[in-house]
Structure 1
Amino acid sequence: MPVDLAVLGLARSGLPLAHAATAAGIGTIGYEPDEAARTGLGAGRPPRDALLTAAEVRRMLSRGFRASADPAVLGRVRTAAICAPTGLGPDGALDLAPVRTAAQTLAAHLRPRTTVIVESDVSPGSTEELVRPLLERGSGLRAGRDFHLAYSPSRLDPGNRRHGYANTPRVIGGLTPACTEAAAAFYGRLTDKVVRARGPREAETCKLLETNYRQVNIALMNEMAVFCHDLDIDLWDVIRCAESKPFGFHSFRPGPGVGGPGVPIDPNYLSYRSRSLGYPLRMVELAQEVNGRMPRYVAQRSAALLNEHGKSARGARVLLLGVTYKPDVAHQEGAPAREVATRLRDLGAQLSYHDPYVPQWRVAGRPVPRADSLYEAAAAADLTVLLQQHRTYDLQGLAAKAQLLLDTRGASPTGAAYRL
């Protein structure tokens, strides 16, 4: 199959893009300099931070996908997607070095009429101010005239069985209208709906808004959880009633904290950039502060619950259920479970954990024992704390077995457990 697409960076957003393109019959090659990652993919093993299963990777390989470390392959495609992973630097700004490296590598092999799409998490303005100059200097070509350049934020939701790659609308902002249309034509082969932004900056900022919308609303619910507990009000019944309003209310849920790769990056960047402009984004910063307090609150509630039942946190056997950042996925980026565990351990608790997706777990460099028999472990523990509601958990059954069950997700049947 002729290769039409090159994906630079085969991790969180890159591998799902390659999977969707391959499934759509688009000849796809992945550019991955890391030898271990290439070898693993060639053997059908996805990287740890990827959102695909081994079976999905094997299907990609059977359809012609391959990973290469030869940058020359980048000059043989009509579309190139930069999906290099980014993270936060020590100053709170995004580390765009992987994006810079990918753009420089691509520039040396860029051909006229190629469509270049940036999918990496970047700060607003990066496509035009960082990627464009690197591509133009390295290739001698001009963006918008000799090749197309656009930004399209990744909208992956791990574990979501309702919304996948095909039925999640794709936002695209091109340097010129022609750039937007070229990128739209590509994504139109992969998704049901394409949404055209005015330009790259609007598409970049769309991702920030979406992430901070979630962060702020979860912070509101976390504050309400503490408030309602102190006043002996059933928050979960309050939410149930509020959900009956057919307008002006969108339901979120409280929890032990906010995890995920986008959450620690986007709001922090936005706050950092706003301070550099001379004013803070107080709502975002406050939301981070509220959500950042939740692991401590969960540890405090755990200790208080033990105390109410005549037990001390010191020496108590505490079982933590679900240590990933989302239900039904294996990824732990930003998950509050580690901080909850650290704080409980500091209180003197003896910890164990159970998670069907995490065979081994370490906190602060120390291993946490894994419970092999879930129900026996819950019966033996002084306190069981549900941190993530994986579908495999029978919470009615767990509540019957556990001596004490603290449900931080509101997933257990009413009256079956203590709720956050």
Structure 2
Amino acid sequence: MTSSTIGIIGLGYVGLPLSLQFARTGSTVLGFDIDPAKINSLEAGESYILHITGESVKTQRDAGRFSATTDFARVKECEAIIICVPTPLAKHRDPDLTYVLNTGKAIAPHLQPGQLVVLESTTYPGTTDTELREVLEAGSNLKAGVDFHLAFSPEREDPGNPQSDVAVIPKVVGGLTPECQKHALSVYGRAIKTLVPVESCRVAEAVKLTENIFRAVNIAMVNELKVVYAAMGIDIWDVIEAAKTKPFGFMPFYPGPGLGGHCIPIDPFYLTWKAREYGQETRFIELAGEVNTAMPSYVITRVGEALSSLHLTIRDSRILMIGIAYKSNVDDDRESPAYVLWELLEQQGAQVDYHDPHVPVIRPSREHAHFAGRKSVALTAAALSEYDLVLVATNHKAVDVALVAEHSRLVVDSRNALSALMKGKPNYFKA
């Protein structure tokens, strides 16, 4: 291969930042996506992701370093092809590799000798060197590790975190062969400051799972402690603030209404599924999943208790939910626990609206298609006074919490967002 173009497939929350980082450091980047609307936006110099500015897209486009297409035949123009597509769970919590394998099938006929293919999508150990490898070899008549290079390098994006900089977050890289790893390190080294080579694709895949399982298990722990301490009249948030002053042996994690996003609620179950193939149990991981999955029901119980303080019930109550995104200060609502809260409230007869400055209209999704098209309501004093209860599901900086505190009849806060303004008031409930 003589081309130095980097092809990045999947221009979402992982692929687009990576594309722009390669472009900023001098590489020519060709982005691929199956969604024509994304391609049209990018070609117009516009961004569809909150924390990525249109100006950053336009700058690289105008410099001739970034372009985007839906034509997968153009992968033959690329020196390296990096796959950043979703890896969701199927209905029964089995891994769904549809996006990965369909991408492999789409690019395989166009693979050229000497090219590098890297998978960044989170998955179980063995995906890259078995399923993806087989698809690529079958469709290309080329052999991985001989005719083309194959590697895995897990994404480490943290949307909404200003400290999350693609350029400085160390990049784990595992190759199918030493030569594959050498090529992958060479490519990533153009854009990423620190590289962490590991022994194999499987080690790299396990690294990502371990990182996210660590978070899921510790979030489950504080969620469980939240419930236990609340029964004792102790605020878990006060406990964590004091505990994190210890300079060793403690790392703060924070409770919430349930897990959200495309990683933490999903990735641990990729390992539990794969572990069964080896006759291994993952009791700790599965217990953490049970604890976290139970959190929305706990929040709804607190909603019922808050309403009963005014001799109201959930049925026929008007409830405003603050935040539909899965975490603060992002526009990503994938796997958001807010949707589970919404469904539970409606099942009990509540009338629910939402306010989220970053999600003005709910987009179609596989998990919660029936919410598509609903619009965020304006947050005003008059509007707040019309609701029986306000439920804080996401703590966005862009939300006027002082307005919420002043004009809400009841507040149930699952994120500690209004504690400084309302703690100790009879109409304020933690969840």
Q: TM-score, normalised by structure 2?
A: 0.89
- Note the 1:68-83 alignment, pairs <5 A: 68-83=69-84
Task: Tell me how far 1:340 sits from its aligned partner.
Answer: 0.9
Return 165-174 or 142-151, whichever deviates more. 142-151
Whether 1:316 and 2:317 are equivalent positions in the alignment is yes
Structure 2 unaligned residues grouped into runs of 5+? 423-427
Task: Tell me how far 1:179 sits from its aligned partner.
Answer: 2.0
Distance in structure 2 (CA, Å) of the matches to 1:418 and 1:90: 34
Paired position in structure 1 for 2:26: 25
Task: Tell me how far 1:176 sits from its aligned partner.
Answer: 2.1
Task: Tell me how far 1:368 sits from its aligned partner.
Answer: 5.6
- Note the 1:270-281 alignment, pairs <5 A: 270-281=271-282
Paired position in structure 2 for 1:385: 391
Distance in structure 1 (CA, Å) of the matches to 2:72 and 2:292: 42
Task: Tell me how far 1:305 sits from its aligned partner.
Answer: 1.0
Paired position in structure 2 for 1:89: 90
Q: What percentage of residue pairs aligned between the two structures are identical?
A: 38
Q: Return the letter of the residue paired with 2:62.
A: S
Residues 167, 403 of structure 1: CA spacing in aligned structure 2 closer, same or farther, 3 A cutoff? Answer: same
Q: Return the letter of the residue paired with 1:63.
A: A
Task: Tell me how far 1:47 sits from its aligned partner.
Answer: 5.6
User: Could you say what secondary structure the match of 1:262 adopts?
Assistant: coil
Task: Tell me how far 1:213 sits from its aligned partner.
Answer: 1.0
Distance in structure 1 (CA, Å) of the matches to 2:98 and 2:313: 48
Paired position in structure 2 for 1:371: 377
Distance in structure 1 (CA, Å) of the matches to 2:276 and 2:51: 34
Distance in structure 1 (CA, Å) of the matches to 2:274 and 2:241: 38
Distance in structure 1 (CA, Å) of the matches to 2:256 and 2:206: 26
1:109-145 Cα deviation digits (max 9, x unpaired):
3233322211122221011112223333444443333
1:395 and 1:413 in contact (8 A); partners too = no
1:342 and 1:364 in contact (8 A); partners too = no
Distance in structure 1 (CA, Å) of the matches to 2:162 and 2:208: 21
Residues 350, 101 of structure 1: CA spacing in aligned structure 2 closer, same or farther, 3 A cutoff? Answer: closer
Distance in structure 2 (CA, Å) of the matches to 1:52 and 1:368: 24
Q: Return the letter of the residue paired with 1:408.
A: S
Return 88-97 or 356-365, whichever deviates more. 356-365
- Note the 1:292-371 alignment, pairs <5 A: 292-361=293-362, 365=370, 370-371=376-377
Paired position in structure 1 for 2:413: 407
The two structures, once aligned, show a CA RMSD in angstroms of: 2.4
Return 307-316 or 166-175, whichever deviates more. 307-316
1:171 and 1:203 in contact (8 A); partners too = yes
User: Could you say what secondary structure the match of 1:108 adopts?
Assistant: helix
Whether 1:146 and 2:147 are equivalent positions in the alignment is yes
Paired position in structure 1 for 2:214: 213
Distance in structure 1 (CA, Å) of the matches to 2:194 and 2:416: 34
Distance in structure 2 (CA, Å) of the matches to 1:87 and 1:185: 30
Q: TM-score, normalised by structure 1?
A: 0.91
Task: Tell me how far 1:301 sits from its aligned partner.
Answer: 0.1
Paired position in structure 1 for 2:269: 268
Paired position in structure 1 for 2:425: none
- Note the 1:245-256 alignment, pairs <5 A: 245-256=246-257
Distance in structure 1 (CA, Å) of the matches to 2:73 and 2:307: 62
Paired position in structure 2 for 1:8: 9
Residues 98, 343 of structure 1: CA spacing in aligned structure 2 closer, same or farther, 3 A cutoff? Answer: closer
Whether 1:58 and 2:69 are equivalent positions in the alignment is no
Distance in structure 1 (CA, Å) of the matches to 2:315 and 2:92: 37
Aligned residues between the structures: 418
Q: Return the letter of the residue paired with 1:199.
A: S
Distance in structure 2 (CA, Å) of the matches to 1:202 and 1:381: 51
User: Could you say what secondary structure the match of 1:168 adopts?
Assistant: coil
2:357 and 2:399 in contact (8 A); partners too = no
Distance in structure 1 (CA, Å) of the matches to 2:305 and 2:35: 48
Structure 1 unaligned residues grouped into runs of 5+? none
Distance in structure 2 (CA, Å) of the matches to 1:418 and 1:89: 35
1:115 and 1:149 in contact (8 A); partners too = yes
Residues 248, 371 of structure 1: CA spacing in aligned structure 2 closer, same or farther, 3 A cutoff? Answer: same
